[in-house]
Amino acid sequence: DADVTQTPRNRITKTGKRIMLECSQTKGHDRMYWYRQDPGLGLRLIYYSFDVKDINKGEISDGYSVSRQAQAKFSLSLESAIPNQTALYFCATRGAGSHTDTQYFGPGTRLTVL
Amino acid sequence: GESVGLHLPTLSVQEGDNSIINCAYSNSASDYFIWYKQESGKGPQFIIDIRSNMDKRQGQRVTVLLNKTVKHLSLQIAATQPGDSAVYFCAERPSGGSNYKLTFGKGTLLTVNP
């Protein structure tokens, strides 16, 4: 969905490096989410934000941090990457008070930590 | 069919046939359900949703059925096409205080043979 963009789309890095994944949306949604997807495990929630001043941990936040720079931007950082953080990362958005509770996903970032 | 908890099952159908993908959910308090389609290399794409006060909802070539008695959700795709080949997964949202997040199933891989 072009309304939610993620950069980079692919990244290979080494253990111990700091990595930032960025997400931008033009949907005007106030709620943004970061997930990771691993084979056989489905999507798991890392962090979520209901507005610029609201940041919440999800089920697997250890080793990650986030920044909500603006309503449209939500970045995910790995302070010191480790191999088991190799995964597909998705950003998603949802509008508060919308007639549906659907989350809309970006195209994903494939991260490989060597 | 899939469950919010099982290994990724597969379904192979012939072009033109109808497909049925199943999902068993565990939380009887869930009040909202979504089906997503994920093509290779792309982010999950919303297909159709249903609230717990309904037992059936139809979209374009897709129908979602909800059986709350046995906590079962299904996605029916009519006249399946090669472009329908993807991983399909369901998501459930609990009612009440945790309604900010979705719990995702692991998915079913649908392969459409021409």
Average pLDDT taken over every residue of chain A:
92
Is B88 within 8 Å of chain A by CB?
no
Mean pLDDT of A49-55: 91
Question: What's the pLDDT at B1?
Answer: 44
Q: Do residues B33 and B73 make contact, with C-beta atoms less than 8 angstroms apart?
A: yes
The neighbouring-strand residues paired with A88 are A37, A110
The sheet carrying A4-7 orders its strands as A4-7, A19-25, A73-78, A64-70
CA distance B20 to B23: 10
pLDDT of residue B96: 67
Residue of B nearest to A56 (CA): B100
Residues of chain B with Cβ-Cβ distance to A31 below 8 Å are 100
Q: How far apart are CA B95 and CA A101, in angstroms?
A: 12
* A114 and A19 Cβ atoms separated by less than 8 Å: no
d(CA B72, CA B65) in angstroms, rounded, equals 8
Please report how many Cα atoms fall inside a 13 Å half-sphere around the Cα of residue B17, on the Cβ side: 13
Which residues are registered as beta bridge partners of B110?
B11, B86
Could you tell me which residue, A82 or B102, shows the higher pLDDT?
Answer: A82
CA dihedral A51, A54, A58, A61 (to 10 degrees): 120
Among A57-61, A104-108, B31-35, B97-101, the minimum mean pLDDT is found in B97-101
Are the C-beta atoms of B25 and B32 separated by less than 8 Å? Answer: no
**Could you tell me which of B90, B92, B66, B64 has the C-alpha nearest to residue B77?**
B64
Q: Does B44 touch chain A (CB under 8 A)?
A: yes
Q: Which chain B residues are within 8 Å of A105, Cβ to Cβ?
A: 36, 43-45
Q: How many helices (H) and strands (E) does chain A have?
A: 0, 11
pLDDT grade, residue A98 (50/70/90)? low
CA distance A98 to chain B (A): 13
Q: What's the average model confidence in pLDDT over A2-19?
A: 94
Q: Return per-residue pLDDT of chain B as tens, 114 residues.
A: 444 444 578 999 999 999 999 999 988 888 899 999 999 889 999 999 999 999 999 999 999 999 999 999 999 999 999 999 999 999 998 876 555 678 898 899 999 998
With an 8 Å Cβ cutoff, are B46 and A104 in contact? Answer: yes
**What is the secondary structure of A29-75 as a DSSP string?**
-SEEEEEEEETTTEEEEEEEEEETTEEEE-TT-TTEEEEEEETTEEE
Q: Are A109 and A21 in contact (CB under 8 A)?
A: yes
Residues of B in contact with A4 (CB under 8 A): 43
For the cut 70, the answer to whether the pLDDT of residue A70 exceeds it is yes
Residue A41 pLDDT: 80
* Share of residues in chain A with pLDDT > 90 (%): 78
Ramachandran angles phi, psi of A92, nearest 5°: -140, 155
- In this prediction, residues A82-107 reach a mean pLDDT of 86
